[in-house]
Structure 1
């Protein structure tokens, strides 16, 4: 019976994370990963979630592909993200994780305060074009070093005031690229074994059920409500980072 409770909790976490992902572009790593890690341990949980994360982001890339011209000015963000992965791997061995967590949490808090104090704040597309490759490298570096790129990637994309569809496409494209690199890395590391990969495939069941529901809900959110939810998720990430730093 305990096993059924564990499976139910994991399915609920993945379903809720997928629903949030469908609505806002951020979901499984923020919502589901902490719960999965409680039952499986962090490395196992990361490997299991990688397949649903890859699927959900690939699905959103395809679904919102028609708004790709909106992202033409920041296309170097995605290339920079991939180039940042090896830098993050090096950084992971050089900088204490606690220092990185506190820095990232502070970065998020500053941005949230700025957006609350100045609701009209936005980065112009001209400035975004110049910043995109550097933000991409920074996001990829943080993804490899900490597993969390949102303090840079989501903060940057959110500040551009893209349309909801453009924002979701940008997030999905960046995270799909990260996942494509992470899967072979987990295989080489021996973490993504056959049974773990099977668990990741089975985890798609609650994802397939709940992600379309999240997308349906997201299409009915006002721009302001959508903005508030994304800021709330960024605040949740900041809290998680600070908790991790204090626990380490």
Structure 2
């Protein structure tokens, strides 16, 4: 029989392996899945500390593997600035451990967006509105990230609404999530909730997360664009439902 003391280590490894698979397939979901599963046996701020290093490494890999880094940075830099500032400013919410209702709101937003998009026409953002919407979307995404440790709303629907190709969408998500991860680490460190010892512990989750992401990318390469978009939205729907149920039950 496996020693009881090993179960937390095994649970953390399996959590990041599963989260890596989701991220490899959809380009997102590692923080959401990790926060959801780790929250069953640790506080939200402790879970956020665990996801810093594997999230950064997998997002950097995702960002580097795309074809349009320079073009995406030039197009999205205002959004990224807003993400960074909003996350650092609102990270006090996560440190307070009072994230129940912000997490419910995040889950509801995911469910509504994914359900609407699956059943209705695809949303699009006119090019003339990008320079005004991008910083607002970035700040809002940062506020949600600082409150919940999850990076997806409203950044994911906004990036999808820009009409990016599949590869550019994945790389754009990698860019947004990398900035969010760095900003969250800065915010938690600034407020004394993330220490050098936490960095070492978080690093232990890199290998299972990378293994899961590699498997997920292999799966994604065999999925058609239409199926990719459908499963992308289904994953959002499932992730949103999980967040709501975890917060209210």
Q: TM-score range by the shorter chain?
A: 0.7 to 0.9
Most deviating of 97-106 and 140-149: 97-106
Verify the 8 A CA contact 1:151 1:234 in the aligned structure 2: no
Paired with 2:37 and 2:111, the residues of 1 have a C-alpha distance of: 24
Q: What CA distance in whole angstroms lies between the structure 1 residues aligned with 2:70 and 2:25?
A: 19
**Matches of residues 92-241 of structure 1 in structure 2 within 5 Å?**
97-241=99-243
Deviation at 1:215, TM superposition (A): 1.7
Q: Are 1:83 and 1:140, in contact at CA under 8 Å, matched by a contact in 2?
A: yes
Per the alignment, residue 59 of structure 2 pairs with 57
Moved more, 209-218 or 62-71: 62-71
Q: Distance in 1 between matches of 2:246 and 2:15?
A: 20
Report how far residue 166 of structure 1 moved: 1.0
TM-score (normalised: structure 2): 0.84
Question: Among 23, 26, 29, which residue is 2:25 paired with?
Answer: 23
Equivalents in 2 of 1:42, 1:145: separation in Å? 10
Structure with greater helix percent = 1
Would the alpha carbon gap of residues 190 and 5 (structure 1) be closer, same or farther in structure 2, given more than 3 Å must change?
Answer: same
How many residue pairs match? The answer is 246
Q: Which ranges in structure 2 are unaligned for 5 or more consecutive residues?
A: none
In structure 2, relative to structure 1, the CA distance for the partners of 1:149 and 1:7 (3 Å cut) is closer
1:220-239, Cα deviation, whole Å (9 max, x unpaired): 21112211222122212322
Superposed CA RMSD = 2.7
Using the size of structure 1 for normalisation, the TM-score is: 0.85
Does structure 1 retain, via aligned residues, the 8 Å contact 2:34–2:47?
no
Cα distance per residue 1:2-34 (max 9 Å; x no partner): 233332222121112112212211132122232
For residues 98 and 36 of structure 1, the distance between their equivalents in structure 2, rounded to whole angstroms, comes to 15
**1:46 corresponding residue in structure 2:** 48
SS of the counterpart of 1:38?
coil
- Cα distance in 2 for partners of 1:69, 1:125 equals 15
**Within 1, Cα distance between the matches of 2:174 and 2:23?**
10
C-alpha distance 246-80 of structure 1, shift in aligned 2 (>3 A): same
Distance 1:90 1:27, change over 3 A: closer
Query: d(CA) in 1 for partners of 2:89 and 2:23?
Result: 27
Distance of aligned partners of 1:42 and 1:160 in 2 relative to their CA distance in 1, 3 Å threshold: same
Deviations 1:182-228 (A, max 9, x none): 22333344433344322211211212323222222212211122112
Structure 1, 204-213 or 219-228: larger mean CA deviation: 204-213
| SS at 1:122 equivalent | coil
